[in-house]
Amino acid sequence: MDDYHHVVACMHEVSNLARKIQSEGRICLALGGDHSVTIGTVDATVNAHEDVAVIWVDAHADLNTPATSPSGSAHGMPVALLAKDLADYWPYLPGMDWQVPKLPLSNLAYIGLRDVDEYERLTMEKFNVCAFGMQDVESLGITGTVELALRHVDPYKRRAIHLSFDIDALDALEAPSTGTPVRGGLTLREGIHIMEKVHETGRLAAVDLVEVNPHLGSARDVATTVQAAQQLLLAAFGHSRLGNTPRARDLPLTKGATLKKES
C-alpha cells in the first residue's frame, strides 16, 4: 500500500491529542470512522500509562502488514503496526518516525473474531495471541469470555485498559451500516455486557468505537447502527440498564408535600 504513511502521519496528531486528554486523567473516547485511528489512540494510551492492556472487540484481527494484507486497507493493519513483537516486519515508511511500536501482543485479547486472514492466523499462532472467536463466545458464554479476556490481559488488576470496539464485532443485523459487515456476530446485549464489565474494572483509560458508517445502508440501517453505538458507549461510561442513582441522592418532594418521618 503506497499511502499508508499518510495515515500514520495524521495519526501523530491524534496521538498527541489523546495523550493530552489521558494525562489530564480523563478517559479518551475516539469515534470512527476507520479502525486505523487506533494507530493514534492506542499509541497515546501506551505512552500515557506504564502498563497497558488492550481488549480488541472485532470481527477481524486487523493484524495484517503491507506484506500480508489481501486488500491493502489501512484498517486491516493497526494491531500489527502497534505491536512491539512485529516491529521487524514493517518497512521504513516516511512520516512514521514518531511511532514506536510498544504494545506487547501478550497484553492484548480479541473478542468476536470470525473473519481472520491466513497470515493473521499465522501471526496469532506464532505469537500465541489471546483470541476469543465466536466459537469461544458460544461455548463460554459472554460472561465467561469477558472474565477470561480480562484475566489474560490484566491478571493483577493494575493495568490501564484500552477498549477498542469495532462495530462490525456485532452481527450485521445489529449494526448493518459498516464497511466490512460479517454475519454470525455478537448481539448488542453481548456488546453491552463487554462494555459494562470493562467499566466495572475502574481502570478504563480509552475507548474507540469505530467503523460506524452512516453513508452505508438505508435510513433504518443507519438508525439501528447508531443506536447500537450509543448503547455501547453509555455502558462503557457507566450507564446501568437497571438505572443509575442521581448524584443528589435525596428524593425530591413534590411542591406542597412534607416529609412526616425521616427515612
Q: Where are the alpha helices (DSSP H) in the chain?
A: 4-23, 38-48, 78-82, 118-126, 134-153, 188-200, 219-236
Establish whether 58 is a catalytic residue.
yes
- Is 117 annotated to bind a ligand? Reply is no
Contact 175, 210 (CB under 8 A): no
Task: Enumerate residues 75-94 that contact ligand ARG by CB under 6 A.
Answer: 75-76
- The whole-angstrom separation of Cα 30 and Cα 38 is 9
Residue 146 vs 169, nearer CB to ligand ARG: 169
Establish whether 211 is a catalytic residue.
yes
Question: Alpha-carbon torsion 214, 209, 41, 75, what sign?
Answer: negative
Task: Enumerate residues 17-56 that contact ligand ARG by CB under 6 A.
Answer: 35
Residue with cell string 493483577: 156
SS3 108: strand
- The whole-angstrom separation of Cα 167 and Cα 82 is 20
Q: Please give the grid coordinates belonging to residue 25.
A: 486523567
Residue 30 vs 48, nearer CB to ligand ARG: 30
Residue 136 vs 166, nearer CB to Mn ion: 166
Q: Which does 64 bind (CB under 5 to 8 A by kind): Mn ion, ligand ARG, none?
A: ligand ARG
For residue 31, the minimal CB distance to Mn ion (Å) is 14
Instruction: Fill in the per-residue mask, 159 to 178: x = in contact with ligand ARG (CB under 6 A), - = not in contact.
Output: -------x-x----------
Question: Alpha-carbon torsion 95, 31, 75, 43, what sign?
Answer: positive
Q: Which does 73 bind (CB under 5 to 8 A by kind): ligand ARG, Mn ion, none?
A: ligand ARG
Q: Which residues bind ligand ARG (CB under 6 A)?
A: 35, 60, 62, 64, 69-71, 73, 75-76, 117, 166, 168, 179-180, 211
Please state the residue numbers annotated as binding site for Mn(2+): 35, 58, 60, 62, 166, 168
Cite the active site residues.
35, 58, 60, 62, 75, 166, 168, 211
